[in-house]
Amino acid sequence: MQRVRLIIEYDGRPYAGWQRQDELATVQGALERAAEALDGAPVTVHGAGRTDAGVHATGQVAHLDLSKPRPVRKIADALNHHLRPDAVSVLKAEEVDEDFHARFSAKGRAYRYLILVRRAHLTFDRGLIWRVPVKLDVRKMQEAADHLIGEHDFSTFRDAGCQAKSPIKTLDTLNVSAYDNRIEVTTTARSFLHRQVRSIVGSLVDVGRGMQEPGWMKDILEARDRTACGPVAPADGLYLERVMYDGDA
């Protein structure tokens, strides 16, 4: 048996999320079909995180076990051949020890959320970025974001269907940056609650629009009440950018 770690990118628009679902197109389903075509037998692909419908990835990590070991340098090319025409690409494949697990061995995850400030509707970037038609105050958004850094009870930013055992998480970073009319919200943590990032971004945009003051973010965090949260940002602008493991550069 050969265990292989994959680094994957995908466009989330055609898929009902990462997790395999009967009669629905999913990223895991596409990868498992490609792996079965390569290995000649059913293969389970384990992902580092379950992204929602419409959410993208530039650095998702997964692992699989192949019953027929082969040169690792050929595995990515072979999987990509069988993935066509899916909007999924294996960027890298490497052999790992049998105790490696894409999800449980992960030490951190990084997400990036993209916002485009403009009045005109999107043409080329539709589904890949959140268009906000009014100017946003990035300084105030960062001031609000600072209230969320560290260990907190994030119940306010937790989806009702979240299956995590505890709402307590630690945000290591949460940064808001502007590049002309493009705004990026980046965040890192060991793990996240279901829709936590999108819930945070939606509330930050309310602050940026002047609908709330930065201190409001602290108030709703301390409320530990989902109904206190601002609107949830759409899936369009969210990207799983990186998953970190011991020994990574």
Active site residues: 52
3-class secondary-structure state, position 187: strand
Q: Token pair for residue 115?
A: 């916002």
Element spanning 174, H or E: strand 168-179
Residue type, 21: Q
Strands 168-179 and 150-153, bridge-based pairing: antiparallel
* HEC-encoded secondary structure of the chain: CEEEEEEEEECCCCCCCCCCECCECCHHHHHHHHHHHHHCCCCCCEECCCCCCCCEEEEEEEEEEECCCCCHHHHHHHHHHHHCCCCEEEEEEEECCCCCCCCCCCCEEEEEEEEEECCCCCCCCCCCCEEECCCCCHHHHHHHHHCCCEEEECHHHCCCCCCCCCCEEEEEEEEEEEECCEEEEEEEECCCCCCHHHHHHHHHHHHHCCCCCCHHHHHHHHHCCHHHCCCCCCHHHEEEEEEECCCCC
The helix or strand, by DSSP H or E, that contains position 152, with its residue range, turns out to be strand 150-153
